[in-house]
Amino acid sequence: MNTISLIDQVAVVIGATGGIGAAVCRSLAGAGCRVAVAYRNDPEAAEALARSLPGQDHAWMDADVTHSASLSDLARRLGDRYGTVDILVNSAGMTRFVPHADLDGLDDGLIDEIFRTNWRGPFATVRALRPLLERDGGGVVINISSIAGTSGVGSNVAYCASKAALNTMTISLARALAPAIRVVAICPGLVDTDFIQGLDPAWRQDQVSRTPLGRLVRPEEVGQAVVAAATLTSSTGCCLTVDGGRLLA
């Protein structure tokens, strides 16, 4: 099997200090990447994560995906330090639990914040880092989406819609940026992060019972899927499901 080596490649992980983002950082560093840990609000956690990664030449950099000026500054700093970006992982996201029937609970401010972070943020990040991704033969963008974008089941209606939009953006940008840049989405099911483990145990067990494989997706499995998308496939414009079979239920 032909595989792409990630030794010394530069990977940028947006939203790196979250449960999924941190696992992605560890998987990419373990595969040989130099990882830029991009964070919004927690420099101490970002520094600790970067220093804990295997390998060398990792960095931590602040970046707010809701502000294009911040992303332009991130691109400048990445260019100064690394000169290129081989892998961009868009893992920043936000949501809040609102029952789908509670239309009034899903107010305009929350809707705008979800789409500003979950859709416009990844687009603006690709826009800012495109010149770096096009260097040295071209790179890959990996958007962390969700099966909520397909199933319509998730923390609220706007969250599901934002992930559906992210999936469509993945397809559109794959066409627009080819052949220099591949664009792929990873669509996890419910991921067993520390946050999920801290919720009502009965609710979590009910979610496990709804999953054909009998367990929730582990964060490191999402990280492994990111490495696989970067190394084992030449596909672009596709959405790879990592959900333990939840869409089958």
Copy the structure tokens of residue 55: 């390998």
Q: pLDDT at position 148, please?
A: 97
- Over residues 147-168, the pLDDT tens digits come to 999 999 999 999 999 999 999 9
Instruction: Name the pTM for this structure.
Output: 0.96
What number is the average pLDDT over the span 132-158? 96
- Over residues 211-247, the pLDDT tens digits come to 999 999 999 999 999 999 999 888 999 999 999 999 9
Does 129 have pLDDT greater than 80? yes
DSSP secondary structure string for all residues of 207-240: HHHTSTTSSPBPHHHHHHHHHHHHHT----SEEE
CA distances from 70 to 60, 62, 67 (A): 14, 8, 5
Task: Point out the catalytic residue in the list 39, 60, 82, 159.
Answer: 159
Q: Is 159 a catalytic residue?
A: yes
In degrees to the nearest 10, what's the CA dihedral of 118, 18, 26, 159?
Answer: -30
Does 249 have pLDDT greater than 90? no
Does 1 have pLDDT greater than 50? no
Domain edges within the chain: 10-241
Question: If you classify domain 10-241 with CATH, what class do you get?
Answer: alpha beta
Q: Using pLDDT thresholds of 50, 70 and 90, give the confidence band for residue 4.
A: confident
- Measured between alpha carbons, how far apart are the two ends of the chain, in Å? 33
Copy the structure tokens of residue 88: 């961009």
By DSSP bridging, strand 140-144 and strand 182-188 are parallel
- Over residues 29-76, the pLDDT tens digits come to 999 999 999 999 999 999 999 999 999 999 999 999 999 999 999 999
CA distances from 101 to 8, 97, 152, 156, 183 (A): 49, 12, 13, 9, 34
Q: pLDDT at position 16, please?
A: 98
Instruction: Using DSSP, state whether 87 is helix, strand or coil.
Output: strand
